[in-house]
Amino acid sequence: MKIIWLGHGSFRFEIAGQTLLLDPWLTGNPVLPEDQHDAAIDGATHILLTHTHFDHVVDVVPLARKLSIPAVGQYDIMSHWAEAESIETVGFNKGGTVDLGGVKVAMVPASHSSTFATRDGLRTGGSEVGFMIMGEGHTIYASGDTAIMADMSWMGDYFKPDIGILSAGGHFTMDMAQAAYAAKTYFDFKTVIPCHYGTFPILEQSADALRAGLPGVSVIEPQVMHAIEV
């Protein structure tokens, strides 16, 4: 399995013969060089979306159309796009699990918001979620943008993820110290990878507090377009 950070909250997972893009933000992403865009999406089979804020959603419909692959996410926004944008979608909801060609993806709660801009002002794009991505003997918890929440207790107990990809930049989501608290309180991760940090000055710039708060856990600060092999 390869986990490749595309910067901010965006990832590429090469797992069980599939290549999943999570919240792929290419257009305007200040930490993903434009000459790396093609490599970031090469061979992608599915696009996962956690919520509709611009830094997660802006490229989803264009990429689904360009690559002729399905967008996968919360039922309301997927149903809208299937009709309005004529793209292939897989819509499901919290509590549901879908099989994407051998990789199972379960949708779990997040605590954030999910809106997008229109000519008529902000509109709600379904609800914010996270994912449990299961394949090759591993379960990855991709938190999406979220605060600490009590739901993490049952999520950790039921799914038992060994890899945590946690939003940890602060201001809009958990910060590094909060992500460390959530990880040690609710989960038993072997590996933790922070995200949604370092992109803008308002966000945390290092994972030092996360690492300090998780002794005995492998905390990996990802590098853009460098594969983490598990």
Give me the pLDDT at residue 118, please.
Answer: 80
pLDDT in tens, 49-95: 999 999 999 999 999 999 999 999 999 999 999 999 999 999 999 99
Give me the pLDDT at residue 163, please.
Answer: 98
The residues of the chain scoring below 70 in pLDDT are none
Do the Cβ atoms of 33 and 49 come closer than 8 Å?
A: no
Give me the pLDDT at residue 107, please.
Answer: 98
Name beta bridge partners: 21.
12, 47
- In the chain, the domains with their CATH numbers are 2-229 (3.60.15.10)
